[in-house]
Amino acid sequence: MIYFDKVTKAYGPENVALDSVSFVVEPGEMVTIVGHSGAGKTTLLRMILAEDRPTKGKVFFESQDIHSLNKYAIPKIRRRVGSVFQDYRLLPNKTAYENIAFAMEVAGRDEEEIKSDVPHVLDIVGLGDRLWHFPHELSGGERQRVAIARAIINRPDLLIADEPTGNLDPENAEEIIEIFKKINDLGTTIILTTHNPKVVEKTGHRIIKMENGKIISDEKRAKKV
């Protein structure tokens, strides 16, 4: 599903964020990318969302070279990728309901679907009673749940999450990881990044370790039941 082919990203001769990185993510996989701050995890995810261009190499989404697409085709790819971030990145002027409805509107879904799906997905992430709250009226854990609900509402092929538990307490972090695992069990491919060993322990599956922009190990574990 995702293929990195010798991708290098340099922000200057001394500042190499990714150094000839290659790996493949198969459909339905759950991949955890681990590494310290500055290891290149976020840059890697930004490449998938076409927020950044590689200096060298190519990134494929299925058979499509993401960075050869014109700017009008990029939103179409992004609608197939759900994304969750450490800082939630919700629209501050929209309620929980409207944040999720917005993602459905841009995907061209009709009003009936929006009215039935948004409360349902918020129920799934445990926020059925927070529909009309603005982000600033929600706790960190609740905001992250809204972000996850937004990321999965269009049933994306791929879900990427950049340090999704970075700002959460251990209890909330564990619940969020459980939600990801359930989403993965339903068939959605997931790539998430973390520097927290406890999260790595919980996610299991496939772990890619990065250091100084390079992959230093890529190991698969048996799925925990």
Phi, psi values for residue 115, rounded to 5°: -65, -35
The string of DSSP letters for 46-93 reads: HHHTTSS--SEEEEEETTEEGGGS-TTTHHHHHTTEEEEETT----TT
Q: Binders of another protein: how many residues, by CB under 8 A?
A: 25
Binding residue (CB under 8 A) for another protein from 3, 23, 60, 102: 102
Report the distance separating Cα 105 and Cα 101, nearest Å.
Answer: 6
Compare residues 77 and 192 and give the one whose CB is closer to another protein.
Answer: 77
Q: Where is 176: in which H helix or E strand? A: helix 170-185
Nearest to 16 by CA among 57, 76, 64, 51: 57
Binding mask 110-129 for another protein (x = CB under 8 A): xx------------------
**Under rule CB under 8 A, which residues in 148-167 are in contact with another protein?**
150
Q: Tokens at residue 2, please?
A: 């995702």
φ, ψ of residue 31 to 5 degrees: the values are -115, 130
Residue from 49, 69, 124, 131 touching another protein (CB under 8 A): that is 49
Binding of another protein by 75 (CB under 8 A)? yes
Q: Does 69 bind another protein (CB under 8 A)?
A: no
- Of the residues 21, 47, 66, 103, which one makes contact with another protein according to CB under 8 A: 103
User: Do the Cβ atoms of 169 and 175 come closer than 8 Å?
Assistant: no
Q: What is the CA radius of gyration of the chain?
A: 17
Report the residue number, 34 or 101, with the smaller CB distance to another protein: 101
Least CB distance to another protein at residue 81 (A): 8
Q: How far is the CB of 168 from another protein (least distance, A)?
A: 20
Q: Which is nearer to another protein, 102 or 200 (CB)?
A: 102
Query: Does the protein bind another protein through residue 12 (CB under 8 A)?
Result: no
> Taking a C-beta distance cutoff of 8 angstroms, is the pair 215, 42 a contact?
no
Residue 219 binds another protein (CB under 8 A): no
Q: By CB under 8 A, name the one of 67, 79, 209, 214 that touches another protein.
A: 79
Interface ranges with another protein (CB under 8 A):
49, 51, 71-72, 74-79, 83, 89-93, 102-103, 105-108, 110-111, 150
